[in-house]
Amino acid sequence: MVSRDRPRQNRYHRYKRSLAMSVPLAYLNGEFLPEVDARLPFYDSGFVMGTTVTEQLRTFAGSLFQLDVHLSRLFQGLETIGVPSPLSRDEMSQRAEELVAANKRWLKAGDDLGLCIFVTPGPYHTMAPRGTTKPTIGMHTYLLPFHLWETQYAQGVRLLISDVQDVPASCWPRQLKCRSRMHYYLAEQEVQRKIPGARPLLVDEDGFVTETPTAGLICYFQTTGLIAPPTSKTLASTSWHYIRKLAQSEGIEVLERNLTPQDVASATEVMLASTPYCLLPVVEFQNCPLGSGKPGPMFSRLISTWGTRVSVDIRAQAASYRDRPFVERTP
């Protein structure tokens, strides 16, 4: 019988050797290697067809946040598209933790990382050499781009409904987090032409709002609490998953239902939820002030409570590291 310990020991030794390298690392198809050496062939189906299941995570105080929740969604996505994971769930969790441990050495105290995990079906059969059929798996970290949203915690976000419709659920499940995002790209381009700096909000074929290209939508009504579009009609947002628990522990009512553009316009507050920045306030909708036109008390309460739970002042961290120097990522 062949022992399974030897491959495990070999992988461990390779990981230890990688740690000795004075460059950030990535993980690709079973190997830790310098980030600059992590390359995909141009015939990978993730590039050729956009068939990539992915997750975006972040750390708080150097520890991955909601890793189990993200992996649950990732494995559900792989099951949906019929691609077997190259790693077990425990193995994927371990590799993610190892990669973050290796790369957070490059951070100053108080800073944090983003982590991307992606899986594709592997080489596209009409372009790839014969016999190359295994799925592709990769992980890489990145500096959280705080400069993109730091001022928006105080100044808020402008939101505009896009003429680009969300992809019908008959095409692929909206719960699937994938890289097939041409509709998001087109929505961003359209809205930027109309109101530079605004973010697009998409609607479905029935006229109900769904989400933005990078965030989930949450409305707060003083009489009913927090309301988000049904999870069955949107990406199963890990941030909304956390906010629900956070709100319930604070005695704030939460529910899901269909929301019209008119509902959004009449909300007491509107927020966007996403892994990198957690929560941002919306202060303008369809070129009109929303609520008071300023970030509201519910937003402040939720973002402060979130920061307390993860032991990081989320807004202060973004302000402290928004102008951090670029880290050279070549040997």
Is 269 in contact with 293 (CB distance < 8 Å)?
Answer: no
232-252 mean pLDDT: 94
Residue 187 lies in a domain: yes
Q: What percent of the chain has pLDDT over 90?
A: 82
Phi/psi of residue 188, nearest 5 degrees: -60, -45
Phi/psi of residue 316, nearest 5 degrees: -65, -35
Alpha carbon distance 26, 105 (integer Å)? 14
184-209 mean pLDDT: 97
Co-location of 96 and 162 in the same domain: no
- For 119, the domain range is 5-144
pTM for the whole thing? 0.91
User: What's 163's domain CATH number?
Assistant: 3.20.10.10
Co-location of 109 and 158 in the same domain: no
| Per-residue model confidence (pLDDT) at position 6 | 47
Co-location of 180 and 106 in the same domain: no
Co-location of 125 and 172 in the same domain: no
For the chain, where are the E strands, in sequence order?
25-28, 31-34, 53-60, 63-64, 113-120, 136-143, 157-161, 199-201, 216-221, 225-228, 254-256, 269-274, 278-285, 288-289
User: pLDDT tens digits, residue range 284-325?
Assistant: 999 999 999 999 999 999 999 999 999 999 999 999 999 987
Co-location of 113 and 199 in the same domain: no
The SS3 call for residue 240 is helix
126-154 mean pLDDT: 93
Alpha carbon distance 142, 145 (integer Å)? 9
Residue 324 lies in a domain: no
| Per-residue model confidence (pLDDT) at position 13 | 60
User: What's 138's domain CATH number?
Assistant: 3.30.470.10
| Per-residue model confidence (pLDDT) at position 21 | 65
| Per-residue model confidence (pLDDT) at position 18 | 60
Higher-confidence position of 83 and 325: 83
Q: Is the pLDDT of residue 124 over 60?
A: yes
